[in-house]
Amino acid sequence: MADFIEGKRPVVEALRTGVPMKCVLLGDYVRKDGLVEDILRKAKRADVPVKLVPRRTLDERSERGSHQGVLAQAKPFGYVGIGEIADAAARRTAERDGRALVILLDHITDAGNFGAIARSAETVGACGLVIPNKRSARVEASTYKSSAGAIAHLPVAQVSNLVQAMMRLKEEGFWIAGATEHASDVIWDVNLKGKIALVMGNEQEGLSRLVMEHCDLLAKLPVEGEVASLNVAQAATACMYEWLRQNR
Return the DSSP state at 181: T
Question: Tell me, what's the pLDDT at 2?
Answer: 60
Question: Tell me, what's the pLDDT at 228?
Answer: 67
pLDDT in tens, the chain (248 residues): 468 888 898 899 889 888 889 999 999 999 989 999 999 999 999 999 999 999 999 999 888 778 999 999 988 888 999 999 999 999 988 888 889 999 999 999 999 999 999 999 999 999 999 999 998 999 988 888 888 888 988 999 999 999 999 999 999 999 999 999 889 999 999 999 999 999 999 988 889 999 999 999 999 999 888 776 789 999 999 999 999 999 98
> What is the full DSSP assignment across 46-89?
TT--EEEE-HHHHHHH-SSS--TTEEEEEPPP--B-HHHHHHHH
The residue type of 85 is I
Residue of 20, 236, 34, 31 whose CA lies nearest to 123: 236
Spatial contact of 148 and 134, defined as CB atoms under 8 Å apart? no
Question: Tell me, what's the pLDDT at 1?
Answer: 43
Residue 112: which residues within 8 A CB-CB, separation 6 or more? 146, 233
C-alpha 41/C-alpha 174 separation (Å) is 46
pTM for the full predicted model: 0.85
Question: Tell me, what's the pLDDT at 144?
Answer: 84
